[in-house]
Each structure stands twice: as C-alpha cells, then as structure tokens.
Amino acid sequence: MTLSCCGHGIATTRAVAIGPAFLLDRSPLAIAPRSVDPAEVIAEIERLEEALAAAQRALQAVRDQIPQSTPVKVTEFIDSHLLMLEDAALIEPARELIREQFYSAEWALEHHRVSLGKLFGEMEDPYLRSRQDDVDHVVQHILGFLLGDRTSDADEDAELSGCVIIAHDISPADTVVLKHRGVAAFVTEFGGPMSHSAILARSLNIPAVMGVRNITSYIRQGETIVVDGETGVILADVDAGILEHYQQRIRRLEERRSHLQRLVREPSISRDGVPVSLLANLELPEDTVAARANGAAGVGLYRTEFLYMNRDGLPDEEEHLAAYLEIIHGLDGIPVTIRTLDLGVDKQVDASPASCSQVCNPALGLRAIRLCLKDPGLFRPQVRAILRASAFGPVRLMIPMLSSMQELSSTLELIGQVRNELEQEGQAFDPKMPVGGMIEVPAAALSAKAFARRLDFLSIGTNDLIQYTLAIDRVDDRVSYLYDPKHPAILRLIRMTIEAGQARGIPVSMCGEMAGSPCCVPLLLGLGLRELSMQPGSLLETKEIVRGAHIAHLGRATQELLDRMDDMEPEQLTETINRLGDFCQ
C-alpha cells in the first residue's frame, strides 16, 4: 500500500467521502501598483472590459445551474453580485483611472475597491457596512480573470458536484452555497469542531475535517482525496487497497444508517419506562424533511441566522413569517422552537470570515440578544413574525445568549409590546406561546433559578457554554483539544440548570452539540435531562441509546460521579463517564 500524502485535523462529521480535490482559494489577490504607457490605454480598458464580461458570464453560468428548488436566499446572493457586475459605478471610476492616470486595469480596479471600502467603512448602519464584503468578492472575481491564472476564480462556474473542497476557511454562508452545488466533503486549514460551519456541515451530513494546517499547499487540484470525518484523517493519492478499505467504510456507515431506520416509529422510552423527548436542530426550512425522516418529536432549535445570509438587505416581517410557516407546514403538527437572531462571531451574514476579526473580541461583543436589543428595528419584525406564526401551529420563542436579568426584562418587555401591537391590529397569534431562554453563558447557568422564574422553558447551549466557561474559542482549532464537554465545571453548570428548571416545574432541554454525542447521552440522562435536541442525523442513534438505558440506575451512578469528581484524576473521570454506557444496553 502506498500513500504519497496525508494530513490530520479535527474530525467534524461522522461520515467518510472520496472525491476529486477542488482547491477553493479565498485568500485575497495581492495587486501591485503598475502604470501603462499612454499608447496602451485603449487596450488596457479593453482588457478590463473583457475581464468584466468573463466574470459576468461565469457567474451567470452558475446562476443558470442552480435548481429551481434552491432557497431564495442562495440565489439572491448570486443575483446581487450579478447586478453589481452590471453597475457602471463599479467599473467607470476604474476606466477613468486608466484613461487619466495610466493605471493598469488591475491597479485601477483595486484602487477603486479601496476607495469604496473607505466609503462603506464610514457608514453608520452595520448592515450597509458589511456590504463592503460583496464589493470585495465581486472585484476579486474580476481580478481573477484579469490575472488569468487563478483556478479559484473559476470556482463560481466550476462543476463541484462530488468534489472535496480544500480551503483555508469556510464560512457558514459558503457552506450552504457549496452544499447546494453538491460537494462531497470539506477540508479546511482553520476552524474548530463547534464552529457554525462545522455544525452546519454535520447537519447537512457532509463529511468535514477542520484545522488541517497547510493542506491547501500540498494537495493538487483534481487528485483523489479520502476524507474521514470520523477520525480526522485526510489521504491523497491512495492505492487501490486503501481506496477499497474506505469504500467499505462508506458501505458500513450506510448499512448502519439503514439499520437504525427501524427505530423511526418506535417510542423514545428508556428500559425503565422514562420518556425522553428527542428533538431536531434545524438551520434551513428544508431541514424539516430530515427531521421528520428521523422521527423527531419536534424542533428544539431553529437557527434563524441563515435567513439573513447570502442575500442583499434584511428579511422583512413577511419573509420571516413565510419561512416559519414553511417550517410549521413541513413539521406537520410537531412543535418548533424558533430561536431569535444570533448573529455575530462566526455567524456573519456574508461569506467573509474576515469580518469577525474587525472587532477586538467578537465572542464577547455585540452578539445575539445584545445585538437585537441594541437594534429593535432588526429585532421587532422577527418577534412579530414568530408571534404571528404561532397562530398556525405549536411555536415556542427562544432567546439566545442571555447573561443578565436586565436583558431578559428588556426582551420580555419588547415581546409584550409586540403582543399589544398585534392585538390592536387584529392579527392572530397564540397568547400562550411559550417564551424560553438559552443557558449558554456561565452567568446564566449560575443564575438559572432567576431565569427559570420568568421563562417558560430553558435550553442549554453547550457549544457556547463550554466556550465561555473554559475560555476556549470554539472556532479556533489550536485550542480545540481543551474543549471538553465533560469538564467538571460544565457538568456542574448543566446540573444547576436542570435543578433550577425542575424546581420551577418548567422543561429544560439541551440543544448544543453535546446532546447528540453518543458518548455524552448516558451522562445527560443521568444528570436528569429528558429533552435533547440535535442535528437530525443523530436522532436515531440517540434513540437507540435511550431505549437501552436504565435511567434510575444512570441517575444514581451519575450522582455518585458528581459527588466524587473533584477527587478524581481526569483519566478516572473519563473512564467513569464512559462506564455509564453500561447502563444503556
């Protein structure tokens, strides 16, 4: 057996893929200042116009390939870039610089891009400010044709179906677009397993490995790559024996998946008769199909951020409502928990991960409910739409990233005002629509009793709770080895939250990735959770664990573990947690 190249990164999805590599280079092109001879001005302007036309043709070809069923937000993103390519305001100033200052076409375009950047940067509105990234993207696209030799600039018209994408980094917005273009897997140099791109890849069931440093410099375009999303191994240029081994792995995973299908209609009840509600996490309205196919009892988390991505302008109330009604309709009567907007950090509205770095510490900044309370114009249409949607089916509203009671009071006040408004307008809504909050900041877990007093349900967001408790950036692969869901501090915070909910008699669920992790499920059941929300692909495996579990035994063993964990060495703690699995057979 021979291997000419391999890499290792962070396993992100429990799936394997084999396919040709497609190097997606999102790094900006470096343009050096260059002048042309006055006699070359006409030819230089022609060169600029030819590049512009080629960029338009390439993007239009992508647009034409997108199936009708693709969500509007994906196509809108491409349409807006097509419009920019047609806009004289983009190209005319560059023409002038060539004509009057004898700039080369690349330099003129880059110069104009920088001037536009300054203009956008000064805009008050954060949304308009972020539109600079679209201009950058479109200019880079034209520059690619001017420079002529970048494969990456062909990425918008390339055939990506079945390809393994190799990239520095992939934003959540990219992930959605690439999924719709049929990619087989992602491998990135940066990014942690709890980044939103990783979560999205899991929920779309795309094998992904992240944090494989320098992979873009040693993989050749088009060579066959094996991506093992379960172990984090990347192989290139493999011989027939290795290929067969991985093809067998793919077959075994498929067999396991179809074997689990037998559980779809079986109840989620433990061996000792305790019901456990298994819910789905959704990113896009079309995910309801996977949720139903995997027997979800409801939706414990619908991440509405994706409504805002890859498009121009903000969604208005009617668009929100249309998306929620699509979900309610797709769920056929099972309840949906709609989380209000959680933009910020790595969930930007565009495909530019760079925009995070413009803030000193985005994870601690203006994110989620903080952003919404600061900008009621952004928040109100969503709250109105969620309330209006509640007239059509069982809807719960969930507030992300609460950290203080003042924040909760302001949010509840705003929801109250919206209710009054709707009532006065004669709009229908469910006056009893439950309002819950996410416990994902340590302060909220420590104050869970206070939150439980004013909310109808709590949901533990472990992705952020772990990030903020252990001070581990969930997006940074360099510290991902420290990201430990079973850390005693995390177990204590989860336990406190569950107890706070139990004391007030309100449901407590978990919607972080930990809820769907097979090695954590026995522990979570032992800690007292009876509602777990996860990406649809994990539901049946979790149901298998629940149905094998003896929850009373698990509860006693977990209590013992909590009592003794401070005296245990880390290995002993891990072993004791793993042994909880013995009560699930």
Q: Which residue has the tokens 């009560």?
A: 583
Question: Which residues ranging from 223 to 282 are in contact with ligand PEP (CB under 6 A)?
Answer: none
Interface residue with ligand PEP, options 141, 180, 303, 384 (CB under 6 A): 303
Residue 350 touches Mg ion, criterion: CB under 5 A? no
Told to judge if 511 belongs to the known catalytic residues of this protein, a careful annotator would answer yes
Residue 560 and residue 523: Cα distance in Å, rounded? 12
Tell me which residue has tokens 């795309």: 206
Phi then psi for residue 538, to 5 deg, are: -100, -5
The single residue among 7, 193, 381, 461 that binds ligand PEP, judged by CB under 6 A, is: 461
Which of these ranges, 140-148, 266-274, 460-468, 564-572, lies near ligand PEP under the rule CB under 6 A? 460-468
> Three-state SS for 4?
strand
Is 463 one of the binding residues for ligand PEP (CB under 6 A)? yes
Residue burial 407-416, b: 16+ Cβ < 10 Å; e: rest:
bbeebeebbe
Alpha carbons 146 and 54: distance in angstroms, whole number: 9
Q: Which of 163, 372, 511, 584 is catalytic?
A: 511
CB of 281: closest distance to Mg ion in angstroms?
Answer: 11
| Candidate segments 36-44, 156-164, 462-470, 485-493, binder of ligand PEP by CB under 6 A | 462-470
Distance CA 492, CA 448 (A): 12
Q: Which is nearer to ligand PEP, 130 or 340 (CB)?
A: 340
User: In the 8-state DSSP scheme, what is residue 160?
Assistant: -
Q: Which residue is nearest to Mg ion (CB)?
A: 464
Query: Is there binding between residue 440 and Mg ion (CB under 5 A)?
Result: yes
On the 0-12 / 13-18 / 19+ scale of CB atoms within 10 A, 286 is middle
- From residue 427 to residue 446, the character string flagging contacts with ligand PEP as x (rule: CB under 6 A) and all else as - is -------------x------
Q: Does 346 bind ligand PEP (CB under 6 A)?
A: no
C-alpha distance from residue 129 to each of 26, 63, 122, 313, 359 (Å): 20, 26, 8, 12, 13
User: Total number of residues binding ligand PEP (CB under 6 A)?
Assistant: 11
Q: Residue 134 or 342: which CB sits closer to ligand PEP?
A: 342
| C-beta of 407 vs 464, nearer to Mg ion | 464
Q: Using the rule CB under 6 A, which residue among 140, 390, 447, 462 binds ligand PEP?
A: 462
HSE, side-chain direction, 13 A CA sphere, residue 128? 9
Interface residue with Mg ion, options 464, 473, 477, 544 (CB under 5 A): 464
Contact partner at residue 7 from ligand PEP, Mg ion, none, CB < 5 to 8 Å by partner kind? none
What is the side-by-side order of every strand in the sheet holding 3-8?
Answer: 3-8, 233-238, 224-228, 16-24, 164-167, 185-188, 208-210, 10-11
Among residues 304, 318, 413, which one has the least CA distance to residue 368?
A: 304
CB of 457 to Mg ion, least distance (A): 16
In angstroms, give the least distance from the CB of 71 to ligand PEP: 19
Residue 156 binding result from ligand PEP, Mg ion, none, given CB thresholds of 5 to 8 Å by partner type: none
Is 163 an active-site residue? no
Mention every residue, 6+ apart, whose C-beta is less than 8 A from residue 549: 270, 271, 272, 522, 525, 583, 584
Candidates 512, 516, 522, 536; binder of ligand PEP (CB under 6 A) is 512
535 binds ligand PEP (CB under 6 A): no
Q: Interaction with Mg ion in 243-262: which residues (CB under 5 A)?
A: none
**How far apart are CB 411 and ligand PEP at their closest, in Å?**
17
Nearer to Mg ion by C-beta: 133 or 440?
440
**Both structure tokens of 483:** 């990201």
The DSSP-derived string for 207-232 is: -EEE--TTHHHH--TT-EEEEETTTT
What is the three-state SS of 251-320? HHHHHHHHHHHHHCCCCCECCCCCECEEEEEECCHHHHHHHHHCCCCCEEEEEHHHHCCCCCCCCCHHHH
Nearer to Mg ion, 44 or 440 (CB): 440
Q: What amino acid positions are annotated as catalytic residues? A: 196, 511
Catalog residues that contact ligand PEP under the rule CB under 6 A: 199, 301, 303, 342, 440, 461-464, 511-512
Catalog residues that contact Mg ion under the rule CB under 5 A: 440, 461, 464
